[in-house]
């Protein structure tokens, strides 16, 4: 009986060891240390891969990022696949630990990350996904609504009595909050669009659009534009030309330049042809050739009939 009990204990111990050996440690991905959130563009972040088996060798584990373009997971430290520099990350292994470091976070770093791999027995496992969100707010773009070339610069000129519709937009990780204000006045328009109907001289002034990130209030961008109002008897002065938007000013300069270029090309094409024709005519005159008497002839036919009647005889014949 004692011998049977000893064999039973040996069997249980062997099964426990086999289970421990064949069981792959479940990986976990997390931020290394105390990471301040939200993550802002330009900041640094480090991710760490761990398993629930203390001291487990992580040489067979790697970090992966989900590619929304390829619709698959990309191993970030596999040479045969897309390399680390493609995603601008650094993988480090030390003391059986695995880290992923990203310096100067950019919008393209946003996405899903995970840790995956296998132990010495080849059993594969993957961690839960960790979503990395990079918050940012870039510069403001001012445009004029209902125009084919609406990008505006620092100023815009409108005719008195017309309607001016301005739109404010900014590239951001989250839809920004917009606000329009006029310099020297207390009113504010909580919108990305500003419409001035029936414009008069009183609307002349500086208008400022402010864009604010909804999750990170300290991320703010502003842009101002000077509005000039001219009467219907508009005079094209230097100030009115300078106040044109950048695209319109470029068009005003480029159109005459294109027309001038076309004229130069036409003249450059016609002058050589004219010179070649003149040289050919001069060469023909030097060789004594005359113009053919009919189309398709190769040589002119010399005249062999002489005038046998003097001018006096011709006159007498006509009078007779």
Return the pLDDT at 54.
Answer: 73
Question: How far apart are the C-alpha atoms of 210 and 37, rounded to whole Å?
Answer: 24
Question: How far apart are the C-alpha atoms of 175 and 168, rounded to whole Å?
Answer: 12
Where do the DSSP E strands lie in 163-287? 164-172, 177-182, 188-189, 193-196, 205-212, 220-230
Return the pLDDT at 283.
Answer: 76
> Which residues, 6+ apart, have CB-to-CB distance to 222 below 8 Å?
140, 208, 209, 210, 211
Q: pLDDT at residue 196 above 80?
A: yes
Tell me if 124 sits within 8 A of 24, measured CB to CB. Answer: yes
Q: pLDDT at residue 122 above 70?
A: no
3-state helix, strand, coil in the chain (%, to 5): 25, 35, 40
86: pLDDT confidence band, cut at 50, 70 and 90? low
Q: Determine the distance from the C-alpha atom of residue 96 to the mean position of all C-alpha atoms in its chain, rounded to a whole number.
A: 42
Return the pLDDT at 121.
Answer: 56
Return the pLDDT at 109.
Answer: 94
Q: pLDDT at residue 203 above 70?
A: yes
Cβ burial of 217 (10 Å; 0-12, 13-18, 19+) is exposed
Q: Which has more pLDDT, 195 or 118?
A: 195
| Number of alpha helices (DSSP H) and beta strands (DSSP E) in the chain | 5, 19
Tell me if 101 sits within 8 A of 44, measured CB to CB. Answer: yes
Q: Which has more pLDDT, 67 or 18?
A: 67
Half-sphere exposure in the Cβ direction for 106 (13 Å, CA): 5
Return the pLDDT at 21.
Answer: 39
């Amino acid at each position: 009986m004692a011998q049977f009990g000893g064999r039973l204990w040996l069997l249980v111990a062997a099964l426990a060891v086999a289970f421990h050996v064949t069981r792959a440690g479940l990986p976990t991905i997390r931020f290394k240390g105390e990471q301040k959130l939200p993550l802002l563009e330009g900041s640094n972040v480090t991710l760490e891969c761990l398993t629930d088996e203390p001291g487990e060798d992580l040489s067979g584990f790697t970090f992966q990022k989900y590619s929304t373009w390829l619709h698959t997971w990309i191993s970030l430290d596999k040479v045969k696949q897309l390399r680390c520099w493609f995603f601008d990350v650094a993988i480090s292994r030390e003391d059986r630990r695995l880290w992923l470091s990203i310096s100067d976070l950019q919008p393209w770093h946003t996405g899903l990350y995970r840790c995956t791999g296998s132990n010495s027995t080849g059993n594969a496992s993957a961690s839960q996904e960790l979503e990395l969100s990079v918050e940012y707010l870039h510069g403001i773009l001012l445009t004029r609504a209902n125009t084919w070339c609406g990008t505006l610069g620092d100023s815009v000129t409108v005719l008195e009595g017309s309607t001016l519709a301005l739109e404010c937009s900014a590239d951001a990780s989250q839809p920004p909050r917009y606000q329009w204000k006029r310099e020297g006045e207390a009113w504010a328009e909580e919108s990305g669009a500003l419409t001035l109907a029936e414009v008069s001289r009183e609307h002349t002034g500086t208008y400022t659009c402010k864009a604010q990130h909804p999750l990170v209030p300290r991320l703010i961008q502003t842009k101002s534009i000077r509005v000039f109002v001219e009467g219907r008897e508009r005079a094209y002065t230097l100030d009115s030309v300078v106040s044109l938007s950048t695209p319109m000013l470029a068009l005003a300069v480029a159109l005459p330049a294109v027309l001038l270029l076309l004229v130069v090309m036409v003249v450059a094409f016609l002058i050589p042809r004219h010179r070649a024709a003149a040289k050919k005519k001069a060469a023909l005159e030097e060789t004594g050739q005359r113009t053919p008497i009919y189309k398709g002839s190769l040589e002119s036919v010399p005249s062999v009939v002489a005038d046998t009647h003097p001018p006096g005889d011709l006159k007498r014949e006509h009078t007779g």
